[in-house]
Amino acid sequence: MNFTPTEEQQMIQDTARQFAEAELAPVAAELDVTGGREILLANLKKLAELGFMGLNVKAEYGGTEAGVIAFSLAMTEIARGCASTAVTMSVTNMVAEVIQAVGNEEQQQRYIPKICSGEYPAGGFCLTETTAGSDPAGMKTRAVRDGDEYVLNGSKMFITSAEYAGVFVVWAVTNPDAPKGKGISCFLVERQTPGLIVAPAEHKMGQKASATNEVRFENCRVPASALMGKENDGFRIAVGELAGGRIGVGSMALGIGLAAMDYATKYISEREQFGQPLANMQGLQWMLAERYTELEAARLLLLSAAHEKEQGVYFGTKASMAKLFASEKANQACYTALQMAGGYGYTQEFPLERYARDVRITSIYEGTSEIQKVIIARDILKTVG
């Protein structure tokens, strides 16, 4: 694989970097304190206008058709500016991709252009439940066929962007008698559908401007045409899309980690102690060397996973490896950066404490680090067998 970006990929990366520096970074601290919903939504609209809400979506549906590598590069740059904006971009791209992958032509034409254009500020990915997080096959939400409709009952937890998502991809059990994971189907549910209830946002440690909500379904009726793909074939879809989502989360983690280390590097280059810049001290130089080396390795893993997805070959193992390594090393990078800044790093005057809070969730969502290890080990053992 050639790791040098193509001209188009470089242009997308540069555009994302410029947008993050000009529009996102200046308001990130304000969004962290206030939530800044109007500012967030305005920036999401701008991202859509730049083509960033459908980077791996066909042009006929309003997408950029730039590919997975371009998506990873752009995600990293956007996350450098604002993690709350980046996570919304990641999930929204994932929703558009799953509709493109398994939706029928009518569904694709109806929903994807609204996502890519920004008419829908975001898309919602409704999989996780209170008793079905790391084990999504254990979900309890039901969808019962009633004539030309399905009736949904249940609830989904920790749904990113639920307050302003225009459409939700929802998984529900349609055959409770089937073996675990075999009787699950996938539906498209519009935001204003009666019976779809979005609960108040969770109070979180980080990424505070990104709404995270419970979504409840109380006798929520959707037409039979809302079914995506085949009935009882939804879990396979979920597993496949989660693998792609891990590239997005890993790329976001990388961006946050780089932002933290870049800030700390500039700080120690300017700050003096014992009559010389902190950057002259070997202990801090070793911290820089270790963290930047790890972040560069994370970047290469992410690009490798993105390349395999783009080539249409199995990329699940690589995606789990990339997400595991990038999220864990980005967490270390943020804490190292905070340590390098000393007491100032612990104050809100510096962005380092925010980076440390924002990055923490990356080792949890789209599958915890522990789950990634299970997936990686399972796939390796399959090759041995």
2 within domain boundaries: no
End-to-end CA distance of the chain: 28
What is the DSSP secondary structure assignment for residue 343, as one 8-state letter?
A: G
Residues 317 and 364 in one domain: yes
Predicted local distance difference test score (pLDDT) of residue 144: 98
Predicted local distance difference test score (pLDDT) of residue 364: 96
1 within domain boundaries: no
Low-confidence ranges of the chain (pLDDT < 50): none
How distant, in Å, are the alpha carbons of 257, 259, 270, 287, 359 from that of 336?
10, 12, 18, 7, 13
What CATH number corresponds to the domain at position 287?
Answer: 1.20.140.10
Predicted local distance difference test score (pLDDT) of residue 156: 97
Residues 132 and 212 in one domain: yes
Within 10 angstroms of residue 240's Cβ, the number of other Cβ atoms is 17
What CATH number corresponds to the domain at position 57?
Answer: 1.10.540.10
Q: What is the DSSP string of 350-377?
A: STHHHHHHHHHGGGTTTS-HHHHHHHHH
Residues 370 and 321 in one domain: yes
304 within domain boundaries: yes
Is 366 in the active site? yes
The pLDDT tens digits for 30-76 are: 999 999 899 999 999 999 999 999 999 999 999 999 999 999 999 99
29 within domain boundaries: yes
Both structure tokens of 174:
């349609």
Q: Which of 8, 202, 366, 370 is catalytic?
A: 366
Predicted local distance difference test score (pLDDT) of residue 72: 98
Angle between helices 37-49 and 25-34 (to 10 degrees): 140
Which of 232, 253, 272 corresponds to the end of one domain?
232
Predicted local distance difference test score (pLDDT) of residue 137: 87
Residue 273 near residue 175, CB atoms below 8 Å = no
pTM score = 0.96
Query: What's the total number of domains in the chain?
Result: 3
Check the CA dihedral 22-87-291-304 and report its sign: negative
111 within domain boundaries: yes
Residue with token string 């990929």: 9
β-pair partners for 215: 156, 198
Residues 354 and 246 in one domain: yes
Residues 268 and 136 in one domain: no
Collapsing DSSP to helix, strand or coil, 146 comes out as strand
Residues 32 and 68 in one domain: yes
Predicted local distance difference test score (pLDDT) of residue 273: 85
What CATH number corresponds to the domain at position 187?
Answer: 2.40.110.10
Predicted local distance difference test score (pLDDT) of residue 237: 79
Predicted local distance difference test score (pLDDT) of residue 320: 97
Q: Residues near 65 by Cβ (< 8 Å), separated by ≥ 6?
A: 56, 57, 58, 59
Within 10 angstroms of residue 205's Cβ, the number of other Cβ atoms is 10
H/E stretch holding 81 reads: helix 68-81
Q: In which domain, by residue range, is 189 found? A: 125-232
Which of 122, 150, 167 corresponds to the end of one domain?
122
Residues 270 and 329 in one domain: yes
